[in-house]
Amino acid sequence: MAKAGDKSGSRGKKGLKRKATAEEPQEAAAAEDGAPESGVQLPKAAAFPPGFSISEIKNKQRRHLMFTRWKQQQRKEKLAIKKKLKKEREALGDKAPPKPIPKTIDNQRVYDETVVDPNDEEVAYDETTDEFASYFNRQTSPKILITTSDRPHGRTVRLCEQLSTVIPNSHVYYRRGLALKKIIPQCISRDFTDLIVINEDRKTPNGLILSHLPNGPTAHFKMSSVRLRKEIKRRGKDPTEHIPEIILNNFTTRLGHSVGRMFASLFPHNPQFIGRQVATFHNQRDYIFFRFHRYIFKSEKKVGIQELGPRFTLKLRSLQKGTFDSKYGEYEWVHKPREMDTSRRKFHL
Amino acid sequence: MQSDDVIWDTLGNKQFCSFKIRTKTQSFCRNEYSLTGLCNRSSCPLANSQYATIKEEKGQCYLYMKVIERAAFPRSLWERVRLRKNYEKALEQIDENLIYWPRFVRHKCKQRFTKITQCLIRIRKLTLKRQRKLVPLSKKVERREKRREEKALIAAQLDNATEKELLERLKQDTYGDIYNFPIHAFDKALEQQEAESDSSDSEEKDDDDEEDVGKREFVEDDEVEESDVSDFEDMDKLDASSDEDQDDKSSIEEEEKSLDTRHKGKTPLKGPLRRKRA
């Protein structure tokens, strides 16, 4: 009895090993082969009923054992498949089919109908008539006012200072409890083109409001991963007064396009290449990474970059049509987490 | 029968009063009708049958009065008078209502009223100023966004992207004449230089052989300076180097060597110098 039980138990174990692949036919085969294969075995004594899964074993240790065994089996099979494929590729040599492209989130991105086509006339027309047209026509040159929320702490103040070295023609002013709605008309009268407000929470900067002044759009960002200059490893010396170049990466949709233009309008239009400084705004999956580098061309095909300057990540929270007015403003786009964050493959910028 | 002294004797000192709060130095009265907030014989609303207070409701100040005649009617114990909005007129109102009342109560009522009006003024001023809006953060959402940001950072490969973009711009000639890189043009120029210098060298060498036999000269060291821009400076000099005795190719080699030496001899085992990813 015990012996038979053991045998069937061991048989059952082996049967379980090939769990995923054809469990039931295996059981049936085992049942059929029961008599001829191991004569001592009880026929049709399938130790586990078909449709049995490892997770139904009540004993934790045994269940764990079964699972690890199954996992090892899976891994072996996977490795075998890979080896086989590799051999086939080598055998074919040049005639091998091209390697399949791995799927990434960026590859699988949900098709967004607002993606800008570079030749789109409507977009081109919009761009010539929007609020940044005067900047892109070289009629106005940017003048930026950088300020913070009330009572900033050291980190925020230092970030403001460093930002003002990065952005040419920018001035830092202390907030001192003034209302933004009162600051804005004053700025307009003094010919400022943009207003940057860095919001602070618990001694760290966590928000950025970028407002284009005469009556331009206001973008509200969530700022994270702020690194000041001294926290950046392997950085270069402080940036000089040269006007940097700008790189805007991956701003594909209409919304992304307008945000990209907002960033571009912060910097004067005539970068000084002698300075070899470049500010990068790279959008990846709706996160905008800001970096400031100094580059040097070592050869025609190689360039070395050295990071200066602060770095931070922005995530767009809302885009408002007029200047800053949280209550009565007309919002072009607001980030609603419950609706917009449901799909992992859908991005808006 | 209402006897204030007995009440005070019991509540004030000897036994428990539920409105009383004791601290190390002071005791306070938590009763809502208390005139001052302290626990005293003269300011205990329970131990005084004739008592008055000022209370504020929704921006309106009221004068509450209690007299011993109504002690038997708890429902109508407190008489309420609405005070005027004008400060002076309200003070006059208090005076006229509390005429013939003890000095202490009158005085304290006026003081309390003053304090309350000052608070109300302050509230009105503050509402005009900007009010900080507290936005609640959901921990789950914050964690999710942080995680996604990290993954996006890895997927972005920022350094690569920046380098690629810069090389693109170099190719498309946005930098103009600053960098003399384009290798095809460079090679052509090189060949030209070689041709010229070969012909000129051969002429010069004959002369030099005759002249240099016994001559002492002080020749400069061939090291390249350590600044970054020196590469370009040397390259500029190369075009005008036909007078020097150097071969153009050797100068390039020296530059490469100096570049290598600048990396302090620490060439990594795995091939050319690589930048570490941030």
Residues forming beta bridges with residue A311, ordered by sequence position: A227
Alpha-carbon gap, residue B47 to B52, rounded angstroms: 13
Q: Which helix (H) or strand (E) holds B142?
A: helix B139-156
Q: Is residue B101 part of a domain?
A: yes
Are the beta carbons of B77 and B48 closer than 8 angstroms? no
Give chain B's domain count: 2
Nearest residue of B to residue A181, measured between CA atoms = B130
Nearest C-alpha neighbor of B251 from the set B228, B230, B272: B230
Per-residue pLDDT at A259 exceeds 80? yes
Q: Of the candidates A274, A285, A300, which has its C-beta nearest B181's C-beta?
A: A300
pLDDT at A309: 86
Nearest C-alpha neighbor of A223 from the set A171, A160, A304: A160
Q: Is residue B277 part of a domain?
A: no
Per-residue pLDDT at B245 exceeds 70? no
The amino acid at B29: C
CA B52 to chain centre: 50
- 3-class secondary structure, B7: helix
Host domain of residue B24: 1-48
Describe the crossing of helices A23-37 and A2-17 by its angle, rounded to 10 degrees.
140
Both tokens of residue B77? 């114990």
Are the beta carbons of A154 and A282 closer than 8 angstroms? no
Cβ neighbours around B69 below 10 Å, total: 9
Q: Is residue B176 part of a domain?
A: no
Both tokens of residue B138? 């959901």
At residue A26 the predicted structure's pLDDT band, cuts being 50, 70 and 90, is: very low
Nearest C-alpha neighbor of A256 from the set A279, A223, A285, A278: A285
Cβ neighbours around B225 below 10 Å, total: 11
Q: Is residue B193 part of a domain?
A: no
Residue-wise pLDDT tens digits, B66-91:
999 999 999 999 999 999 999 999 99
- Indicate whether B75 and B21 sit together in one domain: no
Alpha-carbon gap, residue A22 to A130, rounded angstroms: 64
Interface test with A, best of B143, B147, B149 (most A CBs within 10 A): B149
Query: What is the DSSP pairing of strand A170-172 with strand A144-148?
Result: parallel
- Indicate whether B23 and B71 sit together in one domain: no
CB A300 to CB B183 under 8 A? Answer: yes
At residue B12 the predicted structure's pLDDT band, cuts being 50, 70 and 90, is: confident
- Indicate whether B44 and B101 sit together in one domain: no
Are the beta carbons of A314 and A339 closer than 8 angstroms? no
Residue-wise pLDDT tens digits, A123-167:
888 888 888 888 888 888 899 999 999 889 999 999 999 999 999
Q: Is residue B18 part of a domain?
A: yes
CA distances from B9 to B3, B5, B263, B269 (A): 10, 6, 93, 95
- Indicate whether B37 and B80 sit together in one domain: no
Interface check B126 vs A, CB under 8 A: no
- Indicate whether B32 and B96 sit together in one domain: no
CB B166 to CB A297 under 8 A? Answer: yes
Residue by residue, DSSP assigns A181-223 as HHHHHHHHHTT--EEEEEEEETTEEEEEEEEETTT--EEEEEE
Alpha-carbon gap, residue A335 to B265, rounded angstroms: 52
Q: Is residue B123 part of a domain?
A: yes
Per-residue pLDDT at A209 exceeds 90? yes
Give the number of C-alpha atoms closer than 13 A to the C-alpha of residue B34, restricted to the C-beta side: 17
pLDDT at B253: 45
Query: What is the DSSP pairing of strand A277-284 with strand A245-249?
Result: parallel
